Structure 1
Amino acid sequence: MTWGEVEKRLKENDIIIVPVGSTEAHGPHAPLGEDTFLVTRMAELVALKVGCTVAQPIWYGSHPYHHMGMPGTIVVPEEIFLGQLRAVIAGLWNMGFRKQILLNGHGQEYVIPTAIHQFAKRYQVPGIFINLNWYHAIPEHFKTKEEGGSYETHFIHADEVETSWCLALFPELMDMEAAVDTKPRGYLPEGHVDRAGNLLQRPIAWYGHVGLGPIEVAAYPEGVVGEATLAGAEKAR
């Protein structure tokens, strides 16, 4: 958009969605920008319906410890990521967008709220600033068949669930002939530590520990945690 187009849009709608993604390994079948593509496509679909604006996405994100060393994964330190998010929020506010939704597509939901609160404390300006993790908006659409849903397995990473959403939103970027499966494992009995999105409501959040599971580069060098070959676009649609 040109600045003139932005000014015209602001008179109609001052809501902006900021896709917050990452660059990381998602197996041999999916693009490194998968998390960013997911939330950008979602934001575009929402904007077409409601008339809001979509910001340019944030391509590089923060990562938990167990992602360290994985080829294709670019880890931005938390303090740098927080500074970038605060700067983006400030720049969009100066532009005139007083209502901002940071639509997150990556396992960094424990970092983004801190940036929002830091911004609010530092600048103390009027506005609405929201962190929405897309999977938290629609938990009913992550259920397994046993729970009345579409999937054989629970959501983890580059697996049946996440790959299904990719096939629904950007099939042209996927190579399912290269998809592989792995067997997830942890060091405590099943039921203690939650999986991606904390959708199972288990006592320990997936990001609430270090050491209760293996690091990705050692246990899942394929970049998949789960069964990607089970994915299908219709499961996500």
Structure 2
Amino acid sequence: MDIMDVHGRDIQSVLENVRFAVVPLGSIEYHGPHSPLGTDVILANEFARRLHPSLKPLIYPAVPYTACPGKTRHYPGTISVSPSVITNYLHEIVDGICQLGIRNVLLLNAHDGNMGVSRTVAEAITATYKDASVLLVNWWQMVSTQKADEAGIFTGTQGRGHGGPYEMSVVKAFRPELVHVRDCDQPLTAKPSLSNLPYILVEGSPEGWDGYTGHIGQISLQAGNWIIEEAGANLHQLIENWLQKPKKKDGGEWLDGKS
């Protein structure tokens, strides 16, 4: 259900029939000459809209403006707000949802710059509402690199760079009229990973970068549809597992989470 369609007189009955709220998180950010500036908003919105009704989600409008990294901030079309502004803004949104009585909130993210902000907000909200549960999901992590490699959807690359074939194939599947690779658009090769262990490296001008990266000639509807199906199934199962977790109310009793 979309919160935008709910009448004031119906709020209470709606709240009795939803299991969680969904806040899609995007950005207005340069993703290369071949890609729309609203890439992350499109991705967050479309994955939210495809959540199965049996999960009983209450879907909120996407947050389109957020902090963008230095490596995209100066490219044309990017709109970046300061991290403190988006942190406070997102906190007010989630707090307002909790004030309605909803305690399960899914932050469905499509922009890597939102990860730190979302974690900060989740920690603050759960400190205030002891019975709250905030699930942060980055859609692109809903398909394992191993599964994508086994499927062979890309050749010689995982394709997961900003504006690259992994991300833009999905946008092409959602909105085929918005992704256009021309002969003059250069394929770029990102710098090899420093380690197979997790790490975070922040650079203002990475190697193999021009506001996007990746072998963009491999963008395809077929790859996008495969990713959407795999990510959607994994997201559905993750949410089911989350909602079935027992929860402890402020009063102390445990609930089974199966309402």
Same fold (TM over 0.5): yes
Higher relative contact order at CA 8 Å, sep ≥6: structure 1 or structure 2?
Answer: 1
Q: In structure 2, which of residues 38, 44, 48 is the aligned counterpart of residue 39 of structure 1?
A: 44
SS at match of 1:9: helix
Match of 2:95 among 71, 90, 98: 90
Structure 2 residue aligned with 1:116? 122
Q: Which residue of 2 aligns with 1:196?
A: none
Give CA-to-partner distance per residue, 1:152-189, whole Å, 9 cap, x none: 22210111111110111222333345882332344xxx
Check the 8 A contact 2:20/2:58 in 1, yes or no: yes
Quick one: which amino acid aligns to residue 125 of structure 2? Answer: F
CA distance 1:229–1:4, shift in 2 (3 Å)? farther
Q: How does 1:120-131 map to 2 (within 5 A)?
A: 120-121=126-127, 123-131=128-136
Three-state SS of the structure 2 residue aligned to 1:117 is: helix
Q: How many angstroms does 1:11 deviate by?
A: 1.4
What number of residue pairs does the alignment pair up? Answer: 217
State yes or no: 1:105 paired with 2:149.
no
- Superposition RMSD in Å: 2.5
Residues 106/8 of structure 1: CA separation in 2 closer, same or farther (3 Å cut)? same
Q: What is the CA distance between 1:10 and its match in structure 2?
A: 1.6
Does the CA-based 8 Å contact 1:34-1:166 persist in structure 2? yes
SS of 2:16's equivalent in the other structure is helix
Q: TM-score, length-normalised on structure 2?
A: 0.74
Distance in 1 of aligned mates of 2:41 and 2:75: 18
Residues 100 and 74 (structure 1), Cα distance of their counterparts in 2 relative to 1, 3 Å cut: same
Q: 2:28·2:64 contact (CA, 8 Å) conserved in 1?
A: yes
1:197 counterpart residue number:
none
* Separation in 1, partners of 2:183, 2:91: 38
| Residue 6 to residue 137, structure 1, CA distance change in 2 (3 Å) | farther
Structure 2: stretches of 5+ with no match in the other structure: 226-259
Secondary structure of 1:110 counterpart: helix
What does residue 199 of structure 2 align with? 204
Matched position secondary structure for 1:224: coil
Match of 1:234 in 2: 222
Paired residues of 2:29 and 2:68 also in contact (CA < 8 A): no
* Range with greater deviation from structure 2 (64-73 or 32-41): 64-73
SS in 2 for 1:102: strand
The question of whether the paired residues in 1 share the 8 Å contact of 2:161 and 2:190 is answered with no
CA shift at 1:234, angstroms?
1.0
How high is the TM-score relative to the length of structure 1? 0.80
Q: SS state of the match for residue 103, structure 1?
A: strand
* 1:192 alignment partner AA: L
Q: How do residues 92-171 of structure 1 correspond to structure 2 at under 5 angstroms?
A: 92-108=97-113, 109-121=115-127, 123-140=128-145, 143-144=148-149, 147-152=150-155, 153-154=157-158, 155-171=160-176
Residues 1:71 and 2:59 are matched in the alignment = no
Partners of 2:13 and 2:121 in 1: CA distance = 29
The structure-2 alpha-carbon separation of the partners of 1:80 and 1:151, relative to structure 1 and needing over 3 Å to count, comes to same
Q: Is the 8 A contact 1:141 1:149 kept in 2?
A: no
Residue pair 2:28, 2:79 contacting (<8 A) in 1 also = yes
C-alpha deviation, 1:140, in angstroms: 4.6
Structure number with greater Rg is 2
Task: Report SS of the residue matched to 1:12.
Answer: coil
2:17 maps to 1:12:
yes
Shift of 1:231: 0.6
Give distance in 1, aligned partners of 2:67 and 2:41. 13
Structure 1: which 5+ runs fail to align? 194-200
Shift of 1:88: 0.6
- AA in 1 matched with 2:199: I
